[in-house]
Structure 1
Amino acid sequence: MAVDRERVSSLVRELLDAIGEDPDRPGLRQTPQRVAELYADFFAGVGQDAAAPLAHTISVSSGPAPDTTPSGAVMLRGIRFRSVCEHHLLPFAGRAHIAYLPGEQVVGLGALPKVVDILADRPQVQERLGEQIADTIAQALDCRGVLVVLDAVHECVTMRGGKQTDASTVTIAARGELADPAARAELVALIGRESA
């Protein structure tokens, strides 16, 4: 279901009026339409199937390198994402790091950021976002384990309340063999290592 831009625009105009502003003054005249376009982008994942990008898998035994079965995890670090916190409708943004232990099939690495984008493009909380990414990958792929680490800065922390401008939030979601902290320790260390 697409964002109703006309309705969002009308509601933003009403909000501006409710806070004592004049929505017809020159600086705000286009704001309702701009916010509607922004929300259409920020909430594009609402109603989308996050598993769809994972539908095209490659069999390890008959793929492009049939003699190369991964013996360890496949990891993609530093996936940029942004979302909107459902508590205050303020943005949060950061990086997602995803690892999975392949079974018989692997997925193109470009599919993983698409899963993150679809799930992040809806009102969210970081804790649930990580769990949803892990569940989607675990359920859609034949894998032995999944690890999702999110590191994000929340504007509700940096711009209100205690105004902790340098604070970031880290969450971990794990499934299968990687649910054991000892089993994922090497991966967590690799995530923290600076890129070469």
Structure 2
Amino acid sequence: MTPDTAEVDLDAAEAAAAALLVALGQDLGSAHVADTPRRMVAAYAELLTVEPFDFTTFPNSEGYDELVLVEDIPVRSVCEHHMLPFVGVAHVGYLPADRVLGLSKLARVVDFYSHRPQTQERLTQQVAEHLQTHLSPRGAGVVVEAEHTCMTLRGVRAMGSRTVTSALLGRLRTDAASRAEFLGLTRDRRTR
């Protein structure tokens, strides 16, 4: 998977960061803040750089047909409305068909879509749709739980609040038993 991203101009970003901080009344002459524009740009560049990866699948030679679920995949993204981080975990699963996925690829798909300005709802849907499109399982499901600093550090300042989103496709959406199993496993994990 290769991201569609524009070229990054770190020098222009650093100049813009310096201008933003000065406009917000920050003293860049202070020894503690003088290098902040560079550090700020480096932090955002890291948060917004999408790394390519190979979406490795294997034949489902054993005919495995039960749910595959990886829990607690770290999510680090940036809210596209405020450019503030949101962090949490994703629980990603699928019902295999003809192919199975290398387990680390579930985490890589989450990472791939989270390294961009994003909404949690879109991120959740993108991960599920990616699995459905590129793996063709009988069903795919994603639950993301995250804390949004745009809501906890500013505005309403709802410290400790967490947003939970889900996307269910194929049999995980249409088959009540499969849906209940997936959501039950992710819900059980949240109550442990």
TM-score by length of 1: 0.88
Residue 48 of structure 2 is aligned to residue 43 of structure 1: yes
Cα distance in 1 for residues equivalent to 2:154 and 2:174: 36
Q: Which range moved further: 94-103 or 13-22?
A: 13-22
Q: Aligned pair in 2 of structure 1 residues 5, 97: CA closer, same or farther (>3 Å)?
A: same
CA deviations over 1:82-123 (Å, ceiling 9, x no partner): 100000111100000001011110010001111111110100
> Which residue, out of 58, 61, 65, partners 1:71?
65
Relative to structure 1, the CA distance from residue 194 to residue 139 in structure 2 (aligned partners, 3 Å threshold; closer, same or farther) is: closer
Deviations for 1:21-80, whole angstroms, at most 9, x for unmatched residues? 2222211111011011111210012xx66xx532x211012xxxxxx3212111111101
* Partner residue, 2:3: none
Distance across 2 between alignment mates of 1:123 and 1:177 = 30
Contact 2:65/2:97, CA 8 A, preserved across alignment: no
Q: Which residue does 1:177 correspond to in 2?
A: 171
Structure 2 gaps of 5+ residues are 1-5
Correspondence 1:92-171 to 2 at 5 A: 92-171=86-165
Q: Distance in 1 between matches of 2:35 and 2:173?
A: 49
How many angstroms does 1:181 deviate by? Answer: 7.0
Structure 2 letter corresponding to 1:188: L
Cα distance in structure 2, aligned partners of 1:179 and 1:71: 16
Q: Which residue of 2 aligns with 1:19?
A: 24
**Could you tell me which of 171, 182, 187 is aligned with 2:182?**
187
What secondary structure does 1:115 align onto?
A: helix
Aligned letter for 1:4?
D
**Among 1, 4, 8, the residue aligned to 1:3:** 8
Structure 2: distance between partners of 1:3 and 1:141: 31
Which residue of the partner structure matches residue 54 of structure 2? 53
Please say if residues 144 and 164 of structure 2, whose CA atoms lie closer than 8 Å, have aligned partners that are also in contact.
yes
TM-score with structure 2 setting the length = 0.90
Equivalents in 1 of 2:54, 2:68: separation in Å? 17
Counterpart of 1:34 in structure 2 is: 39
1:81 maps to: 75
**Residues of 2 paired with 1:13 and 1:169: CA distance?**
33
Give distance in 2, aligned partners of 1:87 and 1:18: 20
CA distance in 2, matches of 1:142, 1:161: 42
CA distance in 1, matches of 2:95, 2:86: 29
Distance 1:163 1:16 in 2: 23
